[in-house]
Amino acid sequence: MHTINVRVTHQKADVAALEAFAFPDVKAAVREIASLPSVKECVIVQTCNRVEIFAAAEDVDVAYHDIIDYVMDKTISKMKEHLRHKQGVPPEKIVEHMINSSKMLHDAIESDFHSAALHHLLRLTSGLESMIVGEDQILGQVRDAYHLAYGAGTVGEFFKNIFAKAIHVGQRARNETEINKGAVSIGSAAVELAEDILGSLKGKKVLLIGAGEMGTLVAKSLVEREVAAVVANRTYERSVKIAQELGGETLRFEEVGEGIKKCDLIITATGAPKAILTEKLVEDAMKGRKRSLVITDVSVPRNVEEGVGKLGNVKLLNIDDLRSIAERNKRVREMEAVKVEAIIEEELSLLEKQLYHIDVEGIVKAMFKEAENIRKKELQKAIKMLGDGIDKKEKEVLDDLTRVIINRTMSPIASKIREAAETNDSASIKTAEKWFLKR
């Protein structure tokens, strides 16, 4: 079995490309990919700045092309729907738009195979692949992605071992280095970026829309800056909880328009599938207002319509604009990243040996099973030949003796088969398969 990683991340994709590739229903997507004939197991890691498919397959070339076909089909269908219904592009122009977008889509896709895919996963859980290097959230997000796939029935022994190792490496990186010491999150980076633009948040009125995981991270960062914000969330009870932590106020979701009129900064961080701050809503709220408004949207899909950024006195920021904060954070962690890489290399070597053993374990089991069948058959013949002159104790001695002979004879062969796997001696493995799996 081999590992494939197909991904679209902040490294090469902007927020528009991430939106296009993101799966609206990850559980359905992981089941559909796992049902492809060439794919044996599948896990999807999807966050605000990455969509990553990890797949296990016997033939990586076939599986890769099947996954790309699946992803592109879903992405193109989504983009056509967006152009037709949300942007009102006439049918005759849609093909032209899609041709222009195809290169962008293909250029955004990255892929790794075999050890390179495993290495990428270990870097991912360690926080080295994050936009905000060293952030802790990705470790929990990978763990959640694995549990979702496990619950969907798309994980077997192969990925069970791989993701257990990946999570272990992420924990080691944080326990044995300072890669995450003082590290910012996407949520706190959004606040830091707003602070850079506004100069200071002191005395500013902040509206936080969203009280989920990302909204909570934003709230924590606001608390550190002693900013009392107004919180709005579709689930009012959730917004009350966050507002209490902030020492701020709550606003019912349907009253967001009124909240816009009074604030200097809006941070949106919801899981809404479409924009919640429309151009018309913000335009109406800005009528008669002279002071400027900063909106930072850290959601994917975006929570704010693009047209909002064209309104007077409004500055609209999104995930793409966090790169300056990310680069600043990355420079601080360069020395710790070297230490993390050493841990990754050590653990990757151990993981590869473990996986190679899994690959040939079927051969080893078949070999011992065949030997055991022969032992039992020949033991019964011997006992029968000895007749009534043999008692129970003597039968047990014979049973133990033949079992020891089999184990001592077969164990060195099993070790050689495992060694062949570790050294990638495919010729020896094929011979072993021929002898013990195809008899």
Q: Which residues are catalytic?
A: 48
What type of residue sits at position 158? F
What type of residue sits at position 137? Q
Q: Concatenated DSSP letters for 328-391? A: HHHHHTHHHHHHHHHHHHHHHHHHHHHHHHHHHHHHHHHHHHHHHHHHHHHHHHHHHHHGGG--
How many CB atoms sit inside 10 A of residue 47's CB? Answer: 23
Written as six digits, the tokens of 345 are 């290399």
Distance CA 115, CA 107 (A): 23
CB 299 within 8 A of CB 315: no
**10: which DSSP letter?**
T
**Residues facing 6 on adjacent strands:** 53, 111
127: Cβ–Cβ under 8 A, 6 or more apart, which residues? 133, 134, 135, 136, 138, 139, 170, 173, 174, 179, 180, 183, 340
CB 22 within 8 A of CB 28: no
392: Cβ–Cβ under 8 A, 6 or more apart, which residues? none
172: Cβ–Cβ under 8 A, 6 or more apart, which residues? 343, 347
